């Protein structure tokens, strides 16, 4: 099995299945749903199998898979080769992206059952994972940018999937536009890098080997611009406003894109450019602070939200903040490991939310969904487990990843980051369990339709993974060997923390978490406290960020463009052109007096012309002498 | 010497009568002075020994064409109110002659300056009917035939044009 | 001799042009056209005399024939035009002009 065949099939099978579904969708009017299901699942299933295979070999045999496709541009010194490379970082990403995508595909087949745009949904879904794989496997920041833009585009298409309601389209627009602002930063950084380094080849290895040739200010600029791209894609302050609105799309979209894959593209990109961020420590610190503030902000806002999916959206933003904090202080593999575990439990949470929404006919407010524990106990167990995971209770997987982040932050020397992270983490526990207790622990009891098996089984698999995945990167105090970190082999900074310090930290953490759970239980379980919370507080209105952006950016641009259209385009340019046309008309009328139809006058004109010709020849040119 | 004097007299008559022709108000006056012009031109033809053309000019031009014109003028019964009201006739004439002046001045200048006179010696029967006839029917027979067709065409055309709508 | 004939021909030609353009009476316009033809005939005969070649006289003869046919057509035209408009004004025929669009 050659490298080329494996990687190319991995990349292209979702694309081919999307294409086939598209062709069938437009040619045959009423297709059986199972054809689409088969094509979609095979497209993503083949990729998942190959991804497992590739990461197995990459880990155990330390094999580097390379597949050179073609040369896109070759202009003198500057070449862009389209090469797929699965080094350890890419294989690690593939390890969780591909199987999670496959499981969410299965879930989506159940969620979108009997939907009238079933085929269109899976076209977009498969195209999405094609672009995600392109992003992960690219050897070259320009090809990664193609994948980057592609996932943004498909995210827009999927958020606005139910386009009959115009609000969904606006949400999609918002996502795409805010993403675009980030893309502008990314593209500017790429162009700057190209100006400085383009002649030596533009793959990652070539860039990193020549990185020291660029002077420091330019490097800082490039690093900050790249991070602006990550801000847009991974919803950090100030470019996060699209993420809550993106919940307007169907829930599998939220589960896949806004929990496990697309939002992690920013983290992947920063990790990929780790050598750059190691040099520019100011930008790294900036990243850490942005992550910290995003985490805290999102956690505060989530604690007063009432829509299930919005709570989970802010939770995603908060967890991403944690990852960026770790990236900012230089602990790249810790951040990546947290991304790994986050994919699992966040997917479970979203899928559970989706199951609840479908079971209760699209009610999404937690105050109306109380007491649903008994209609589907299995769902309750899975959601509860995922919440325990996100709270970082031992021995669940996120305990290892989040605690690793905490210790790294503590020993990094920026103690304020540690305290912000601690606050955000406790708030995470608070809002997650607020949601769980209101939904499941209530005096009133409701029942709804049970979810289909197709939706439950993938959730079960992911729940198991979220429980046990921590074992992959056990730190030394528990006897593990940090397997994933050694595999990734990124330029982490070294952090030193004594074993006793670590155990003390973990102990205090766990105690605080348990305390918060008890407090939340007392407050929300079997009470009506949630109904007494007002919806008009500043926190509940998300600190009015959307309104501020609207007033500061949207309205001025809108009025500027209206002004330009009305005044300048209509009045100025149109009138000028009309005026010119009018002048021509008058001139034409003036000339028409010469054409009076009288032949004598025409003869006169001929005579005049002839005489003028004669005069010119004879007197002026002296042609005939 | 004699030739020059005769030429000058004839030239003067031609020019004066043509000027009268173009400036007369009534068409019959124009036609009559045109006859005088044609006669003088015919005389000028005769002066260079082109006797056949002298005769042809008088018979056909002055005799047939001009009499046709006179006939039509009288047939149409032109009264004074049918004539156009040419208020600015003099002004137009002077203006147009000013426009045409450079044209003729240039041509006359050219003629005076060049040496186009060849002065070959002609035979005895130059310009007689025999000489012209021989040339007409040997070298120029094709144009001759075509002219006859042209006459036929104009005959048919004039009949067609002036038919009254039935 | 030839030169004087040519100069006379040029003068008559110019007079004919002036008459063609200045007058509004269609009969006078027609006679100016005939005057143009005659001026050309004059110069042709002079050339023929100079070159001692009778071809130019033949050309002149043909021109006279053509003038005759043209005269017939013109007369027919006069009759028709006078019948329509009862006037001999050349300015009345301006349908091709831009006033009628």
Structure confidence by residue, pLDDT tens digits, C21-60 = 999 889 999 999 999 999 999 999 999 998 888 899 999 9
Please, what is the end-to-end C-alpha distance for chain A in angstroms? Answer: 95
> How would you class B166 by CB atoms within 10 Å of its CB: exposed for 0-12, middle for 13-18, buried for 19 or more?
exposed
Q: Do B100 and A615 touch (CB under 8 A)?
A: no
For B48-70, what is each residue's pLDDT tens digit?
989 999 999 999 999 999 999 99
pLDDT of residue C83: 86
Q: A-C interface: how many C-beta pairs under 8 angstroms?
A: 35
- Name which of A604, A611, A625 is nearest B102 (Cβ-Cβ): A611
Gap between the Cα atoms of A412 and A337, Å rounded: 18
Q: Are A304 and A248 in contact (CB under 8 A)?
A: no
Whether residue A473 is predicted with pLDDT greater than 80 in this model: the reply is no
Distance of CA A304 to CAs A309, A371, A434, A436, A595, Å?
Answer: 13, 20, 10, 14, 84
Best of B102, B110, B111 to mutate (most A CBs within 10 Å, chain A): B102
SS3 (DSSP) at A220: helix
Instruction: Find the mean pLDDT for residues A103-117.
Output: 85
Token code pair at residue C16? 């004919």
pLDDT of residue C5: 93
Q: Do C21 and A597 touch (CB under 8 A)?
A: no
Candidates C63, A122, A466; CA nearest to B56 is C63
In sequence order, which ranges of C52-96 are alpha helices (DSSP H)? 55-85
- Which residues of chain B are within 8 Å of residue C21 when distances are taken between CB atoms? 92, 96
pLDDT band, very low/low/confident/very high, at A91 (cuts 50, 70, 90): confident
Please, what is the end-to-end C-alpha distance for chain B in angstroms? Answer: 63
Gap between the Cα atoms of A431 and A372, Å rounded: 18
Whether residue A477 is predicted with pLDDT greater than 70 in this model: the reply is no
Q: Do B37 and C38 touch (CB under 8 A)?
A: yes
pLDDT band, very low/low/confident/very high, at C100 (cuts 50, 70, 90): low
Best of A587, A598, A604 to mutate (most C CBs within 10 Å, chain C): A598
Q: How far is A590 from chain B (nearest CA, A)?
A: 23
SS3 (DSSP) at A470: helix
**Cβ-Cβ contacts under 8 Å for A595 (sequence gap 6 or more):** C96, C97, C98
Q: How far is A592 from chain B (nearest CA, A)?
A: 22
Distance of CA A271 to CAs A132, A491, A572, Å?
Answer: 16, 9, 52
Q: Are A157 and A253 in contact (CB under 8 A)?
A: no
Candidates C51, C67, C49; CA nearest to B45 is C49
Q: Are A492 and A330 in contact (CB under 8 A)?
A: yes
Angle at B84 between CA B80 and CA B88, to 5 degrees: 120
Best of C6, C21, C29, C31 to mutate (most B CBs within 10 Å, chain B): C31
> Considering the entire predicted model, what is its pTM?
0.67
pLDDT band, very low/low/confident/very high, at C62 (cuts 50, 70, 90): very high
pLDDT of residue B11: 95
Whether residue A226 is predicted with pLDDT greater than 70 in this model: the reply is yes
Whether residue A492 is predicted with pLDDT greater than 80 in this model: the reply is no
- Name which of C4, C73, C89 is nearest B157 (Cβ-Cβ): C73
Gap between the Cα atoms of A348 and A366, Å rounded: 18
Best of A593, A600, A605, A611 to mutate (most C CBs within 10 Å, chain C): A600
- Which residues of chain A are within 8 Å of residue B102 when distances are taken between CB atoms? 611, 614-615
pLDDT of residue C20: 92
Chain centroid to Cα A576, Å, comes to: 47
**Torsion of Cα atoms, A123 then A124 then A128 then A130, to 10°:** 20
SS3 (DSSP) at A21: helix
Q: Do A600 and C29 touch (CB under 8 A)?
A: yes
Of the candidate ranges A46-60, A371-385, A421-435, A485-499, the one whose mean pLDDT is the lowest: A485-499
Angle at B153 between CA B150 and CA B157, to 5 degrees: 140
Candidates A309, A311, A315, A320; CA nearest to A261 is A320
Q: Do C98 and A595 touch (CB under 8 A)?
A: yes
pLDDT band, very low/low/confident/very high, at B39 (cuts 50, 70, 90): very high
Q: Which helix (H) or strand (E) holds A85?
A: strand A78-86
Beta strands of A300-407 (E only): which ranges? Answer: none
Q: Do C14 and B64 touch (CB under 8 A)?
A: no
Whether residue A480 is predicted with pLDDT greater than 60 in this model: the reply is no
Q: How far is A593 from chain B (nearest CA, A)?
A: 18
pLDDT band, very low/low/confident/very high, at C89 (cuts 50, 70, 90): confident
Q: How far is A614 from chain C (nearest CA, A)?
A: 14
Q: Do C66 and B24 touch (CB under 8 A)?
A: no
Nearest CA in chain C to A598: C94
- Name which of C20, C90, C98 is nearest A592 (Cβ-Cβ): C98
Chain centroid to Cα A120, Å, comes to: 21
pLDDT band, very low/low/confident/very high, at C71 (cuts 50, 70, 90): very high
Best of A598, A600, A609, A611 to mutate (most B CBs within 10 Å, chain B): A611
Gap between the Cα atoms of C80 and A130, Å rounded: 88
Gap between the Cα atoms of B33 and B14, Å rounded: 9
pLDDT band, very low/low/confident/very high, at A525 (cuts 50, 70, 90): confident
Whether residue B166 is predicted with pLDDT greater than 70 in this model: the reply is no
Q: Do B126 and C52 touch (CB under 8 A)?
A: yes
Whether residue B13 is predicted with pLDDT greater than 80 in this model: the reply is yes
Token code pair at residue A618? 């004879």
- Which residues of chain B are within 8 Å of residue A624 when distances are taken between CB atoms? 110
Gap between the Cα atoms of A104 and A100, Å rounded: 6
Gap between the Cα atoms of B92 and B122, Å rounded: 45
- Which residues of chain B are within 8 Å of residue A609 when distances are taken between CB atoms? none
pLDDT of residue B104: 92
Q: Are A58 and A88 in contact (CB under 8 A)?
A: yes
Other CB atoms within a 10 A radius of the CB of residue A591 amount to 10
- Name which of A597, A603, A607 is nearest C97 (Cβ-Cβ): A597
Candidates A47, A46, A149, A55; CA nearest to A93 is A55
Distance of CA A155 to CAs A122, A161, B147, Å?
Answer: 13, 10, 90
Of the candidate ranges A44-48, A133-137, A278-282, the one whose mean pLDDT is the lowest: A278-282
pLDDT of residue A246: 86
Instruction: Find the mean pLDDT for residues B77-83.
Output: 81
Q: Are A214 and A199 in contact (CB under 8 A)?
A: no
Average of per-residue pLDDT values in chain A: 83
Instruction: Confirm or reject contact between A600 and chain C (CB < 8 A).
Output: yes
Q: Are A143 and A202 in contact (CB under 8 A)?
A: no
Instruction: Confirm or reject contact between A5 and chain C (CB < 8 A).
Output: no
pLDDT of residue A86: 84
**Torsion of Cα atoms, A210 then A211 then A217 then A223, to 10°:** 140
pLDDT of residue A485: 66
Give me the percent of chain A exceeding a pLDDT of 90: 8
Average of per-residue pLDDT values in chain C: 90
Q: Do B69 and C30 touch (CB under 8 A)?
A: yes
pLDDT of residue A362: 76
Other CB atoms within a 10 A radius of the CB of residue C31 amount to 29
**Cβ-Cβ contacts under 8 Å for A400 (sequence gap 6 or more):** A337, A341, A470, A473, A474, A475
Q: Are A44 and A14 in contact (CB under 8 A)?
A: yes
For B118-128, what is each residue's pLDDT tens digit?
878 877 788 88
**Torsion of Cα atoms, A164 then A170 then A175 then A181, to 10°:** 140
- Which residues of chain A are within 8 Å of residue C95 when distances are taken between CB atoms? 597
Distance of CA A7 to CAs A51, A197, A346, Å?
Answer: 9, 28, 28
Q: How far is A606 from chain C (nearest CA, A)?
A: 10
Of the candidate ranges A468-472, B133-137, C37-41, the one whose mean pLDDT is the lowest: A468-472
Q: Do B110 and A611 touch (CB under 8 A)?
A: no
pLDDT of residue A489: 66
Q: Are B17 and B40 in contact (CB under 8 A)?
A: yes
Q: Are A298 and A263 in contact (CB under 8 A)?
A: no
SS3 (DSSP) at A61: coil
SS3 (DSSP) at B95: helix
| Count of alpha carbons within 13 angstroms of residue A312, beta-carbon side | 33
pLDDT of residue A447: 73
φ, ψ at A486 (rounded to 5°): -70, -35
Of the candidate ranges A33-47, A376-390, A447-461, B139-153, the one whose mean pLDDT is the lowest: A447-461
Whether residue A311 is predicted with pLDDT greater than 70 in this model: the reply is yes
pLDDT of residue C12: 96
Distance of CA A550 to CAs A300, A343, A554, Å?
Answer: 22, 32, 5
Partner chains of C (3+ C-beta pairs under 8 Å): A, B
Gap between the Cα atoms of A321 and A327, Å rounded: 10
Packing angle between helix A332-359 and helix A453-468, nearest 10 degrees? Answer: 150
Partner chains of B (3+ C-beta pairs under 8 Å): A, C
Chain centroid to Cα A277, Å, comes to: 21
Phi-psi category of residue C38: left, alpha or beta, with phi > 0 → left and psi -120 to 50 → alpha: alpha
- Which residues of chain A are within 8 Å of residue C24 when distances are taken between CB atoms? 600
Instruction: Find the mean pLDDT for residues A172-197.
Output: 88
| Count of alpha carbons within 13 angstroms of residue C64, beta-carbon side | 27
Gap between the Cα atoms of A435 and A367, Å rounded: 9
φ, ψ at A46 (rounded to 5°): -60, -45
Gap between the Cα atoms of A596 and A590, Å rounded: 12
Gap between the Cα atoms of A433 and A114, Å rounded: 33
- Give the A-side interface with B, CB within 8 Å: 604, 607-608, 610-611, 614-615, 618, 624-625
Best of A601, A606, A612, A618 to mutate (most B CBs within 10 Å, chain B): A618
Residue predicted with more confidence, A59 or B145:
B145
Gap between the Cα atoms of A391 and A398, Å rounded: 8
- Which residues of chain C are within 8 Å of residue A590 when distances are taken between CB atoms? none
Candidates B124, B143, B148, B149; CA nearest to C60 is B143
pLDDT of residue C58: 95
Instruction: Confirm or reject contact between A604 and chain C (CB < 8 A).
Output: yes
Q: Are A296 and A424 in contact (CB under 8 A)?
A: yes
Residue predicted with more confidence, A157 or A531:
A157
Radius of gyration (Cα) for chain C, nearest Å?
17
pLDDT band, very low/low/confident/very high, at A358 (cuts 50, 70, 90): confident
pLDDT band, very low/low/confident/very high, at A486 (cuts 50, 70, 90): low
Candidates A269, A256, A196, A186; CA nearest to A224 is A186
Instruction: Find the mean pLDDT for residues A331-351.
Output: 86
Q: Do A615 and B102 touch (CB under 8 A)?
A: yes
In eight-state DSSP terms, residue B148 is H
Nearest CA in chain A to C18: A604
């Amino acid at each position: 099995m050659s490298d080329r065949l494996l990687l190319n099939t991995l990349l292209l099978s979702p694309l081919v299945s999307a294409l086939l579904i598209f062709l069938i969708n437009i040619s045959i009017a009423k297709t059986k749903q199972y054809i689409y299901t088969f094509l979609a699942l095979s497209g993503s299933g083949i990729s998942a199998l190959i991804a497992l295979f590739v990461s197995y070999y990459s880990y155990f045999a330390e094999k580097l898979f390379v597949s050179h496709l073609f040369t896109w541009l070759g202009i003198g010194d500057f070449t862009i080769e389209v090469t797929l490379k699965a080094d350890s970082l890419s294989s690690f990403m593939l390890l969780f992206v591909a199987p999670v995508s496959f499981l969410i595909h299965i879930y989506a087949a159940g969620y979108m059952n009997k939907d009238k745009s079933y085929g269109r949904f899976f076209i977009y879904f498969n195209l999405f994972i094609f672009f995600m794989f392109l992003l992960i496997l690219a050897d070259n920041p320009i090809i990664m940018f193609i994948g980057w833009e592609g996932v943004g585009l498909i995210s827009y298409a999927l958020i606005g999937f139910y386009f009959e309601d115009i609000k969904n389209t606006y949400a999609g627009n918002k996502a795409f536009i805010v993403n675009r602002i980030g893309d502008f930063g990314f593209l500017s950084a790429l162009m700057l890098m190209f100006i400085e380094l383009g002649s030596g080849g533009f793959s990652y290895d070539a860039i990193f080997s020549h990185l020291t040739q660029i002077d420091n200010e330019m490097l800082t600029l490039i690093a900050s611009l790249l991070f602006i791209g990550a801000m847009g894609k991974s919803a950090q302050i100030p470019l996060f406003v699209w993420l809550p609105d993106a919940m307007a799309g169907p829930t599998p979209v939220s589960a896949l894109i806004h929990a496990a894959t697309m939002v992690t593209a920013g983290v992947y990109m920063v990790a990929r450019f780790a050598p750059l961020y190691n040099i520019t420590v100011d930008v790294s610190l900036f990243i850490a602070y942005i992550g910290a503030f995003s985490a805290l902000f999102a956690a505060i806002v989530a604690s007063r939200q009432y829509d299930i999916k919005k709570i989970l959206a802010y939770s995603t933003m908060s967890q991403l903040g944690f990852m960026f904090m770790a990236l900012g202080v230089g602990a790249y593999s810790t951040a990546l490991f947290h991304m790994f575990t986050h994919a699992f439990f966040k997917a479970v949470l979203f899928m559970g939310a989706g199951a609840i929404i479908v079971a209760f006919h699209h009610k999404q407010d937690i105050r109306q969904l109380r007491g649903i524990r008994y209609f589907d106990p299995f769902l309750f167990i899975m959601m509860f487990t995922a919440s325990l995971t996100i709270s970082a209770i031992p021995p669940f997987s996120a305990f290892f990843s989040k605690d690793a982040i905490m210790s790294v932050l503590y020993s990094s020397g920026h103690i304020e980051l540690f305290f912000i992270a601690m606050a955000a983490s406790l708030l995470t526990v608070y809002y997650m369990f607020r949601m769980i207790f209101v939904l499941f622990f209530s005096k009133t009891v409701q029942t709804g339709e049970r979810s289909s098996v197709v939706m439950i089984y993938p959730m079960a698999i992911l729940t198991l993974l979220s429980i046990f995945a921590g074992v992959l990167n056990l730190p030394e105090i528990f006897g593990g060997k940090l397997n994933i970190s050694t595999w990734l082999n990124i330029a982490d900074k070294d952090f030193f923390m004594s074993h006793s310090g670590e155990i003390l930290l973990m102990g205090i953490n766990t105690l605080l978490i348990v305390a918060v759970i008890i407090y939340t239980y007392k407050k929300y379980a079997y009470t009506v406290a949630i109904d007494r919370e007002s919806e008009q507080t500043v926190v509940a209105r998300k600190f009015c960020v959307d309104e501020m952006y609207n007033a500061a950016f949207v309205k001025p641009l809108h009025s500027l463009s209206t002004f330009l259209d009305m005044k300048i385009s209509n009045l100025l340019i149109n009138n000028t052109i009309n005026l010119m046309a009018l002048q021509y008309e008058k001139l034409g009328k003036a000339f028409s007096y010469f054409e009076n139809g009288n032949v004598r006058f025409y003869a006169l004109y001929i005579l005049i012309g002839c005489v003028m010709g004669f005069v010119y020849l004879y007197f002026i040119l002296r042609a005939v002498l | 010497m004699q030739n020059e004097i005769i030429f000058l007299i004839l030239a003067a008559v031609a020019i004066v009568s043509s000027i009268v022709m173009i400036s007369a108000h009534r068409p019959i006056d124009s036609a009559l002075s045109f006859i005088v012009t044609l006669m003088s031109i015919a005389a000028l033809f005769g002066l260079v020994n082109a006797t056949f053309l002298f005769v042809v000019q008088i018979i056909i031009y002055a005799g047939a064409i001009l009499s046709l014109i006179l006939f039509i003028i009288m047939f149409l019964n032109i009264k004074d109110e049918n004539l156009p009201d040419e208020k600015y006739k003099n002004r137009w004439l002077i203006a147009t002659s000013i426009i045409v002046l450079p044209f003729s001045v240039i041509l006359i200048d050219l003629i005076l300056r060049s040496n186009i006179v060849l002065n070959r010696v002609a035979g005895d029967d130059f310009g007689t009917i025999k000489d012209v006839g021989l040339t007409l029917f040997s070298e120029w027979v094709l144009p001759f035939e075509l002219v006859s067709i042209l006459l036929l065409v104009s005959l048919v055309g004039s009949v067609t044009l002036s038919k009254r709508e039935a | 001799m030839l030169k004087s004939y040519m100069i006379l021909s040029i003068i008559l030609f110019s007079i004919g042009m002036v008459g063609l353009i200045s007058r509004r009476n269609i009969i006078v316009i027609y006679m100016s056209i005939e005057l143009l033809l005659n001026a050309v005939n004059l110069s042709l005969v002079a050339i023929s005399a100079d070159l001692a070649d009778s071809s130019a006289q033949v050309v002149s003869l043909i021109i006279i024939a053509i003038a005759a046919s043209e005269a017939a057509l013109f007369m027919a035209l006069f009759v028709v035009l006078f019948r329509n408009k009862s006037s001999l004004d050349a300015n009345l025929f301006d349908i091709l002009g831009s006033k009628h669009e």
